[in-house]
Each structure stands twice: as C-alpha cells, then as structure tokens.
Amino acid sequence: MHAMEHRWGNRLRVHNRIQLRCRHHLPVSGVLLEDSLSGGFVRTNMQLNIPSRVEVDIEIGGESYTESASVVRREMGGLALEWSEFAPQAMTLLLGELPLISLERQSGQRMAS
C-alpha cells in the first residue's frame, strides 16, 4: 500500500546543493533531489525527528535564499520536507527554471511518498 500524497503541484527532479540548519545541530550539506510547490526531498545524512523545523539555504541563479520547512518523513538517505509557506519564492524560482515534466511522467509511473 502506498502512503497518501499530500503534495500540491507536480513533483520535479532537481539536483541542487543546499545547506540544512536546525536548532541544536551544526549545519549539514545536502542535495535537493525533488521539489514541488509544497515540499521536497533532500538527500542528507542529518537525522531529524518528525516534525523538526529546518532552514534550507539554497543558491539559485547566483542569488542566495533561505526557506523554512518541517520534516514530514524520514527515509534511508534523506528527509521529506514540507515548506512552511506554500510555493516559497526560492522553490518557485527553481521550478520555473525547469521544463514542466512531472516525476510521474518522467518515470512512467506514479511515485509514492
């Protein structure tokens, strides 16, 4: 059985280096692998509990942005995040730079959360 999807908008593959910051933890590097208007998946070795709050530092087009998020799922190798604000500026800019092809169409199948 697949987990229920709670995402708004298409999930797109990306590959952007980020920095994750969380209270009581040193900053950790990661890679944003998937992005949507409501959240994303980050490959990282940072171990956080649900619903830890994090700050995501990302550079897009030579500009630095910081977006807030909450951890909504932990998986081996990464964290699923929900942006604190729907369609935050940095993630909307990032999605605007990509062709509008969802992961479901890229892979030919629906992906589970």
User: In the 3-class helix/strand/coil scheme, how is 5-22 assigned residue by residue?
Assistant: CCCCCCCEEEEEEEEEEC
User: In the 3-class helix/strand/coil scheme, how is the chain assigned residue by residue?
Assistant: CCCCCCCCCCCEEEEEEEEEECCCCCCEEEEEEEECCCEEEEECCCCCCCCCEEEEEEEECCEEEEEEEEEEEEECCEEEEEECCCCCHHHHHHHHCCCCCCHHHHHCCCCCC
Domain range list for the chain: 12-99
Question: What does the pLDDT look like over 35-51, one tens digit per residue?
Answer: 999 999 999 999 999 99
What would the CATH number be for the domain defined by 12-99? 2.40.10.220
Q: Averaged over 82-107, what is the pLDDT?
A: 73
Question: What does the pLDDT look like over 51-89, one tens digit per residue?
Answer: 999 999 999 989 999 999 999 999 999 999 999 999 999
* pLDDT computed for residue 38 by the predictor: 94
Residue 35 to residue 15: CA distance in whole angstroms? 9
